[in-house]
Amino acid sequence: MQIKLFRLLAILVVMIFPLSCAASNQERTCQYNPDSGKPNPLGMRSFITVKEKEGNTIFTYEQFPSPVGKGEEVTITTKRELTFYGKNIDTARVVLLQNKNYYSELVGYEDAEGFAPVNEVLTCN
């Protein structure tokens, strides 16, 4: 009886341990959802994605390719990242809300409203 109970317990540990490890390493992502019906404050050609990975939070600002010059097919894209080390996604969003300088560095220009309008339309999974 004790051997069966021990085996059952060992099987449960083997099954549950990998699941708990996987759950703690999952990435969490927040981004604009066009299906929300809310307009993107960055316009139609730019967006911000927020990812929490390994205890850090990374904000990525991207612009879709834009034509450069005339006569030739040349485009340019913009991608900037701001990383908060050791901060979860919720804490990092608050820090970015409170510090307009961080947001300005992320997007590459000063914005009087800061991160607040973008934060309001982010959907997280």
When pLDDT is cut at 50, 70 and 90, the band that residue 66 belongs to is confident
Residues 82, 96: Cα–Cα separation, whole Å: 10
Residues 59, 53: Cα–Cα separation, whole Å: 11
Lowest mean pLDDT among 38-47, 69-78, 115-124: 69-78
> And the tokens for 93?
């969003």
The per-residue pLDDT for 16 is 46
pTM for this prediction: 0.74
Q: Domain-by-domain residue ranges, the chain?
A: 27-124
Which percentage of the chain shows pLDDT scores above 90? Answer: 68
Taking a C-beta distance cutoff of 8 angstroms, is the pair 116, 100 a contact? no
